[in-house]
Chains A and B, each alone.
Chain A
């Protein structure tokens, strides 16, 4: 059973399933944009190191993009199976739906963690570069920068399951007769972000801002992460049921 599960995970990691998509061109342009982006970022920060005062830790705000990226990735992973016409076979595999979607999300999670580690290394190099160039730079400042980054990266990784599960909700509902509930989901999604960003919990900051601007390692964080994991699992079970009972083909 475990070997079958890993076979499915490896397959999702290794092979792009969308046969109509030109991955060669996509990869080429991805590399081009990444290189341009890196050159641009290093260029701006080289100039900035000499002319501006840079608060190093704010560079980690870049991590904000990752939960949304993770969310989109989960939608895409499921969508590919339907777009490629392989869902008919995929759903006939003699395993529970929960196993099938869990394999997909595991593949997503591995890819996301790889990306997060890549970004961490890149931003750390950038931080080191700025510390080296800036007159205010010091080893202590750089070490603190890495510590903050490491903490935030780990926290983002720990929130990956809930973002994947929420992406799965969209991916599954779109293919089911419960599609009308998607509007309700987006409404909740919007309210969730508004609530945590607009209504502050401390010093007039929104929850997420205060979260990143104060020490994130606290009971509140651990409780939130644990709750998110439980919620993720419940969502997975629910979506497995939807995929079983309400799939629209």
Chain B
């Protein structure tokens, strides 16, 4: 699959603080690409540069096969941007907001009407279209914001933390929308600090921290390369972990222990064997499912919530 977007060595400095320090990643066409990192990692700055709000201090962006610096206007016509803050005119109805946004992208007449009806259906807000945005919940506003970004049928949809501060119903609706857009072949960049969202929606992920992309790949690749291999166990009495071989680290977790190892199946066999031998009652024993949290921890030495 060809790349729709290629970023090389992107740099941005605010006063003396390096917001982006050589960010590089590439996004395949028709994929949902996750940009995962803690607050202040550089996600929003990257998004703002991609959408032309900010200019970079260095590096290159190639989008749709064109140099983004030289073809800003042409490129922006194919981008839909959902910013972190809701951008709607509160006193207007959702419909009037969409008319305004659509016209800004050169849509008019029947084409605009048709597109508005389409995006309202996609967002599930057709029946509330004539209500003023002021009367909407945060989640509904966000959905209309996404609808506005979709009006001109962008080739690339950029979503900057679209689920921050919204209700679960709207969150699920947004997830369904993203899945359906993916099926329709829209390429998306999804920025978030929620790992579950990236795991649920994205085909490929770049982990960003301190203005640098620390790794990029599919979930499987990241789990295989960087995911913590471990076994979780709970027992009624203290378990003699010192008798286990091939372990790398032991952590307390809830009522049990997480034991890191390169060979989890071997370790489980050892635990079962020792339990039988010493008559220790095991409540819980399982291979720990790899998570992006552990990938992030192993790559940066800190958790996403730090």
Contact = CB atoms under 8 A, between A and B. Distances in A.
Contact of B87 (A85, A244, A249): A85
A3 B15 CA distance: 39
B86 interface: yes
Contacts of B15: 177
Given A19-B90, A85-B86, A88-B48, A93 B104 contact: yes
A96 B103 CA distance: 16
Contacts of B48: 88, 249
A101 to B, nearest CB: 15
B103 A91 contact: no
B92 interface: yes
Interface in B77-95: 77, 79, 81, 83-87, 89-92
Nearest to A90: B87
B100 interface: yes
A126 interface: no
Interface residues of A, number: 27
Contact of A86 (B72, B87, B105): B87
A89 B108 contact: no
A248 B55 CA distance: 11
A238 to B, nearest CB: 16
Interface string A133-150: 000000000000000000
A94 B79 CA distance: 9
Interface of A is mostly: loop
A92 B81 contact: yes
Nearest to B84: A88
A7 B97 CA distance: 12
A35 to B, nearest CB: 26
Interface in B32-81: 48, 51-55, 72-77, 79, 81
A87 B51 CA distance: 12
A177 B15 CA distance: 9
Interface of A: 1, 3-4, 7-8, 11, 15-17, 19, 85-89, 91-96, 177, 244-245, 247-249
21 contacts: A4-B103, A4-B105, A4-B106, A7-B100, A15-B91, A15-B92, A16-B91, A17-B89, A19-B90, A86-B87, A88-B48, A88-B83, A89-B87, A92-B76, A92-B79, A93-B104, A94-B74, A96-B73, A245-B55, A247-B53, A249-B48
Closest 10 pairs between A and B when the two form their complex, measured CB to CB = A94-B76, A88-B83, A89-B87, A7-B103, A92-B51, A94-B77, A85-B85, A91-B53, A19-B90, A92-B81
Given A19-B90, A85-B85, A247-B53, 18 more contacts: A3-B106, A3-B108, A4-B106, A11-B100, A16-B91, A19-B91, A86-B87, A88-B53, A88-B81, A88-B83, A88-B84, A88-B87, A89-B81, A91-B51, A91-B53, A93-B105, A96-B73, A249-B48
